[in-house]
Structures are given as C-alpha cells and as structure tokens.
Amino acid sequence: MAGENYTIVMEFILVGFSNFPKLQGFLFAVFLIMYMNILIGNGLIIAITKTDPALQTPMYFFLGNFSFLEICYTSVILPKLLTNFWSDNKSISLLSCAVQLCFFLILGSTECLLLAVMAYDRYVAICKPLNYPLIMNHKFCFQLVVFSWIGGIPVQIGQTYQIFSLPFCGSNILNHAFCDIPPLLKLACGDTSMNELSVYVVLVLFSMASSLIILWSYFKIIAPILKLPSATSRYKAFSTCFSHLIVVGLFYGSAAIMYVQPKASESEEIDKVLSLFYTIVTPMFNPVIYSLRNKVVIAALRKLLTK
C-alpha cells in the first residue's frame, strides 16, 4: 500500500434506497408512518406502565423500559434515513458515522440483556411464585435494568474505536441504510480478519450469553406449566411467555441472518432489508405483540385513551 496513492476517506455517502429514485416519496411516507407507529405505540406502553396501578409489577416495569429502548434504538437510525430521502447530500461525516454506530451497538447489546432479564423474570414468576415478590423486589429490578443499559457500553465503545481505527481509503460509498459494521468493514483497507473475529466474539458475548439465559429460563418454565391442574391456568401461564418469545425470535432471527451468514451468500440489498427488519419492523410490532394477548394491557390502554 505504501507505494500507491489512496484518498483518505473523511465522510461516507449513505446509499440507502437512492437506487430507487422514483420511489423516494413513497418510501419516505412508509418509513415516516413506521416511525410514528413506533413512537406512538411504544409511548403508549410506557405511559400505561407508569400510570396504571394494575401494571405496577416487575414484568411491566421491564416492558416499559423495553419500549423506551425501542424508541431510542430506532431514533438512532430513522431520522437520518428520512432526511436522506429528500436531501441530495447523503453524506455522513466519519465522526457522525462513528457516533451512530456506537449508539446502535450499545442499544443493541441493551436489547439482548433486557430480553434475558425479562425471561428470567418469567422464570421466577412461574417457578418460584411464593418467593417472587421477595426475589424480584424493586431494588433488584432496578439493578437489572441499570446493568442492561450500561453493561454493553465499555465493550461497544471499544468495538467502535477498533472499527474506526482502520484506514478507510478509496471508495466512500456505504451501500447501506445506516452505519453498520459489515458494510464499514467492506470499505476498510488492509486485513480486517482480526476485526471480524472481534465482531463475532462480541456477538457471542452478548447474543449467545443472553440467548442461553432465555433458553435456560424457558426450559425451566415448561415443566411447572405442564403440571398446572387446569387448562385455563396453563393457557394463562403460556400467554405471559408467548409474547416475549415472539419478540426474541424476531430480533435474534433477523440479526443472526444478518451477521452470521456466510460471506459467499452476502447480498447488500438483502442485508439492507434484514437490518431494517430488526431495527425498525420489530420495534413497530412490539406494542401489538405485547398487547394483543394481554387483557390487562388492553384494559389499561382503553382506560388511558378514554381519559
């Protein structure tokens, strides 16, 4: 590389969906509606978990935090994406890209940890019902939430620093909807194998560890539920877990396909769609998933809306 001329990259051009010029207005409307649905839907969940007396339990405390997380998560991505639909200048500075990536990774790790915490809460509620108020007391729940929010900060700041310590030279066309690790590594010069290894280590650290906690929790939950005497009791117990399992499946499924797929099968357009699925589509449906089968949440929403 020393003997060749390279242009040092100081900013990236976020391609997004600009290769569909005739659909810019339509796509802007679609993503704006999705963003508004995320803000309103998750905002309503936060409101009812804070104000309704029937929802002052650890499960809904975690759900309120999860809804706030989803708003933050999508707000890292969508405002810039919406701006790019109408702006001819689709550039993003190196610093802004690093900040966006850092917040995106931190909130992503928070989501992994919070999903694991919510699974553990269901385990204690079903397997240790008599000790539930003692174990899941307010102080312990608060500590779990704080750990979920700050647990990934040091690792993800280090991950971001490592990515942006790489030399970016030559092309600055980032064929993605936002600053994410896989498209950034494609633009980096030199050997990125150590960085790719680091990405997989961090993925295992957060996603694998949290998914193992989730699997362990539900493995422990199944036997006590099946021993319940009545079908109504079994249905009620399963219904409290079902919504969480759907959200876990959507988030981990789309993220795993995005980050773990073999290089030979990578497609930039498919990557864009998959990344938007777990950053936008899943947060949009979370309020529906959690309220559809939950009569307590539906009743609280009706009470709030009538007020």
Convert the pLDDT of each residue in 274-288 to its tens digit: 777 778 888 888 888
Write down the pLDDT at residue 242.
75
pLDDT tens-digit readout, 124-143? 988 888 899 999 999 999 99
What mean pLDDT, rounded, does the chain reach? 83
Q: Specify whether the CB–CB gap between 117 and 148 falls below 8 A.
A: yes
DSSP result, 198-226: HHHHHHIIIIIHHHHHHHHHHHHHHHHHH
Asked if residue 250 is part of any domain, the answer here is yes
Higher pLDDT, 23 or 254: 23
Q: Specify whether the CB–CB gap between 14 and 84 falls below 8 A.
A: yes
CA of 115: how far to CAs of 121, 150, 240, 287, in Å?
Answer: 10, 15, 14, 15
**Domain CATH for 273:** 1.20.1070.10
Domain range enclosing 125: 11-306
Write down the pTM of the prediction. 0.87
Asked if residue 56 is part of any domain, the answer here is yes
Q: Is 88 left (phi over 0), alpha (psi -120 to 50) or beta?
A: alpha
Higher pLDDT, 306 or 27: 27
Higher pLDDT, 289 or 33: 33
Nearest to 237 by CA among 251, 216, 223: 223
Q: Specify whether the CB–CB gap between 276 and 16 falls below 8 A.
A: no
Asked if residue 254 is part of any domain, the answer here is yes
CA of 22: how far to CAs of 15, 25, 34, 114, 236, in Å?
Answer: 15, 8, 20, 40, 49
Task: Give 3-state DSSP helix, strand, coil % of the chain, rounded to 5.
Answer: 75, 5, 20
CA of 80: how far to CAs of 14, 15, 74, 105, 256, in Å?
Answer: 10, 12, 11, 17, 25
Asked if residue 3 is part of any domain, the answer here is no
Phi, psi dihedrals of residue 131, rounded to the nearest 5°: -95, 0
Write down the pLDDT at residue 165.
86
CA 16, 5, 191, 108: dihedral to nearest 10 degrees?
A: -30
Query: Which of 4-8, 24-28, 50-54, 115-119 has maximum average pLDDT?
Result: 115-119
Asked if residue 5 is part of any domain, the answer here is no
Asked if residue 2 is part of any domain, the answer here is no
Asked if residue 244 is part of any domain, the answer here is yes
pLDDT tens-digit readout, 37-47? 999 999 999 99
Higher pLDDT, 258 or 228: 228
Instruction: Name residue 140's amino acid.
Output: F
The Cα–Cα gap between 20 and 17 comes to 6
Instruction: Scan for tokens 């779990």, then name that residue.
Output: 144
The two structure tokens encoding residue 284: 């949009």
Q: Is the pLDDT of residue 254 over 80?
A: no
Q: Domain total for the chain?
A: 1
Q: Specify whether the CB–CB gap between 258 and 275 falls below 8 A.
A: yes
The Cα–Cα gap between 209 and 289 comes to 24
Asked if residue 168 is part of any domain, the answer here is yes
pLDDT tens-digit readout, 107-118? 989 998 999 999
Give the burial class of 7: count Cβ atoms within 10 A of its Cβ; 0-12 exposed, 13-18 middle, 19 or more buried. exposed
Three-class DSSP category at 57: coil
pLDDT tens-digit readout, 177-219? 888 888 888 888 877 888 888 888 887 788 788 888 888 888 8
pLDDT > 90 in the chain, percent: 26
